[in-house]
Structure 1
Amino acid sequence: MVYDDVTIVVDERDDLFYTRAALQAHRPEKGRITVQPTPANGSPAALAHDMLHALGKRLAPGPNSPDVWLDSVNAAWLAAAAWGVAAGVRRVVVLRAHLLTIRRIDQLLAWRESTGAQLTLLWQKAPRGLPQMLARVERRISSRDQFEALLAEPGPIPTRQFFPPALSAVAGPAAVAVVAEQSPARQLRDTRSASRRRAHPCVGAMATAQMFQPAAAIEIASESAAALAALAHPLIAGALSVLAFTRASLGSLRFTRDLDITGDVSTIKIHGAGHRCCPLHAVPAWARPLLAAARAHHRLTPHSPGDSVFASVMVAEARYLRAHAGHLPRLDLALPAGSLVS
């Protein structure tokens, strides 16, 4: 594992200055977040939930919560990585890292590898207690001036190329890395190849957009858009947002592929029955970060561009998609139970 983008801040005296400075530096819209680990939380996915909270996501509470599948460690960290990539997170500061278990430190380091963000751990204890994997970190600082200078640094350009330039106005200036969109000719060739394998006759959104104008997005209230943006799982947030601004059927959403979303997340292609009518829809600004996160989630797992982006929430986790839809009555997204069974 590479430690070039990991910094240890040694605060042996537990100086309140460091905590305050870290909290004041929390600017998700600028690609900087500060994570506060929940004290004495024994849940295996607790630190991933803290990361999601720092990214502005809120898990629904309760034993029958529609977010219960995020109690799984792998699912929670994958969601946190997808949101981090989509938001263009460049720097993460974790408070009270000396209280974290070795397992959770490993999870943090793995998340950093997935997102390409720079990780700063505030170690508020004597450095002799550093675990072996952190003892190898070369960059350590232990003064106020050094910490302030560190927080002022812009951070590295994220290495993951999953978020588009069109998000820069929505997610802040950090989200400027560009996905190199395939040419329509290349995409058409790739899609034809995939079609022969999958019996899927449609080319992707980029090729179709060369010939047709996308339909305008249906407007929704800002409160509803904010509620969708706060959903913790990127696939559920992305799926419900598409249903909200297109009023498409669930059957159409089932076949939405990576290549059905343009590189700048400005347009999405929806598939009709038998692919007799597969219209383009403009993606409103509020929904672009949600679809970017859904696409990042798709690409962080071993999938091809021709695979369905929302397959897992349309089948295996359908009950959670329905539950979240039921919690958003103003959007009128009531989903019949039978329609989500493959």
Structure 2
Amino acid sequence: MTAGGPPPVTVIHDKDDHPAWTTAAHAAHEPALGRLTVDPSPANGAPAALAHDLLYALGKRLPQGGEKYGTWADSQRPAWDAVATWVLTHHIGHLIVCRTDRLTHARQRQLLALRERCGIRLTLLWHRQVTPALRTLLEETPHHIIETLPQARIALDRTEHSPTGTPSAGQQRPTEPAPRRQDGGQWITSPAPSDGVVTNRPKRARCQGAPKLAPTTSSAPSARGRDHTPADVLAARLTTVAHPLHATALAIHAVTGADINQLALIRGIDINETATTVKIHDSTAHRRCRLYPLPTWTRRLARAAGIHGQLKDRAPDSPLFPLITVQDGEQLRLTATGIRYHLKPTP
């Protein structure tokens, strides 16, 4: 969150519901510059529907096929935790919401809560006369109202510094993996484990976190065999995974070959501060843990897992992927199936 709190809420008052105002809002959508526009689907009665809309606007896709156990996205808190994590990870500094007047009061409050949690600029488009409901919503929130289209366009094009203090405007565009060949939708085979660097733990000494290793810019995860699909294809698929912990766990699996039990042992401190190294534990005994360098394409996902842990106030030495073994990793397997990735079975 930014020092001193987020900027005041901007309400763009389109009292005549003219298409030009919504068109301007859609044109402002530029996630690479820190601006995100969402056009909610208020007819959706699911409790986490608005969170789902934001995840879709961020390019994420919800898990499918979880009828047997349900999915994390069915509940409001996990869904909004995912939204907040991705907003911070992708340095979104300005959220623009169309059709705010059609949202329920509870969903409007969810937007204000996200603004506070992430320290972002929030712009709300109100497409009818100002109502007492809007005044009630904003009575304790700093805000200003814009009522002309030229002023609205200026407000919509505002690009904020990211909540982490890094400029998200033209000075710095986040780099995304660019596939070198078209993704034909084929299944990606789980790679064979690479060797890593063994770390010996002295008796009665605590297992330390991951140190910094020599950086690697390799774009390909460690894998052997003809069935290997280039990492840029897997990276592109992982950018669509809605849950940040699932995306990170699958990226680490692709690099290290760690199975679900090993993924469950990874702690927050087992990814170093620069997200360039991960430690994989041999067992709860921690006798011969291994260090693996993280390729460039995995590092944003690794940072997302750390941000998620901070938002949830998890201790740095607590598990990075809590509940990853619930139903024998069923939720993670659903995610892997959704991106057509073969997750290594647990021994």
Q: Please indicate the TM-score interval, normalised by the length of the shorter structure.
A: 0.7 to 0.9
Shift of 1:90: 0.3
User: SS where residue 124 of structure 2 aligns?
Assistant: strand
Whole-Å separation in 2 of the counterparts to 1:258 and 1:107: 28
1:300 corresponding residue in structure 2: 311
Whole-Å separation in 2 of the counterparts to 1:2 and 1:277: 45
2:186 corresponding residue in structure 1: none
Whole-Å separation in 1 of the counterparts to 2:174 and 2:276: 13
Whole-Å separation in 1 of the counterparts to 2:121 and 2:23: 20
Whole-Å separation in 2 of the counterparts to 1:205 and 1:98: 48
Q: Match for 1:321: what amino acid?
A: L
2:296 corresponding residue in structure 1: 285
Structure 2: tracts of 5 or more residues without a match = 178-200, 224-228
Question: Comparing both structures, which one devotes a greater share of its residues to helix?
Answer: 1
Please say if 1:45 is aligned against 2:56: no
Whole-Å separation in 2 of the counterparts to 1:314 and 1:91: 36
More moved, 33-42 vs 2-11: 2-11
Q: Match for 2:325: what amino acid?
A: M
Q: Match for 1:93: what amino acid?
A: I
Whole-Å separation in 2 of the counterparts to 1:34 and 1:70: 21
1:265 corresponding residue in structure 2: 275
| Cα distance per residue 1:23-71 (max 9 Å; x no partner) | 1111112211001101311111000000111111011345628872211
Shift of 1:3: 6.9
Please say if 1:170 is aligned against 2:180: no
Whole-Å separation in 1 of the counterparts to 2:216 and 2:161: 35
Q: Percent identity?
A: 36
Shift of 1:325: 2.6
User: SS where residue 145 of structure 1 aligns?
Assistant: helix
RMSD: 3.2
1:72 corresponding residue in structure 2: 75
2:34 corresponding residue in structure 1: 31
Shift of 1:155: 1.6
Match of 2:149 among 126, 132, 144: 144
More moved, 48-57 vs 131-140: 131-140
Whole-Å separation in 2 of the counterparts to 1:317 and 1:8: 47
User: SS where residue 287 of structure 1 aligns?
Assistant: helix
TM (norm. structure 1) is 0.79
1:18-167 paired onto structure 2 within 5 Å? 18-62=21-65, 64=67, 68-129=71-132, 130-135=134-139, 136-158=141-163
Distance 1:202 1:160, change over 3 A: farther
State the aligned residue count.
306
User: SS where residue 170 of structure 1 aligns?
Assistant: coil
User: SS where residue 323 of structure 2 aligns?
Assistant: helix
Check conservation: 1:59, 1:67, Cα contact below 8 A: no
Check conservation: 2:15, 2:129, Cα contact below 8 A: yes
Check conservation: 2:63, 2:334, Cα contact below 8 A: no
Structure 1: tracts of 5 or more residues without a match = 173-191, 193-198
